[in-house]
Amino acid sequence: MPIGGGHYKPFEEKVLQDIAQAHGKTIAQVRLRWNIQRGATVFPKSTRQH
């Protein structure tokens, strides 16, 4: 999963919070960008219905 999953909780990571805040982005946006810059194919999804 490109944003996080399993036991890893990226939204609680202080480093990611700091990076996101410094750039005016969300942690999800930071994680997606990091994956894209690594050359990974990213398929974000939502489990909530709108």
pLDDT digits (tens, 9 = 90+) for 1-50: 556 666 677 778 899 999 999 999 999 899 889 989 999 888 877 777 76
Residue 3: predicted pLDDT: 64
Domain count, the chain: 1
pLDDT number for residue 4: 63
Report the pLDDT value the prediction gives residue 6, as an integer from 0 to 100: 62
C-alpha to C-alpha distance for 37 and 35, rounded to whole angstroms: 5
Under 8 Å CB-to-CB from 17, ≥6 apart: which residues?
A: 27
What's the domain range around 14?
Answer: 8-40
The answer to the question of residue 46 being in a domain is: no
Residue 28 domain-assigned (yes or no)? yes
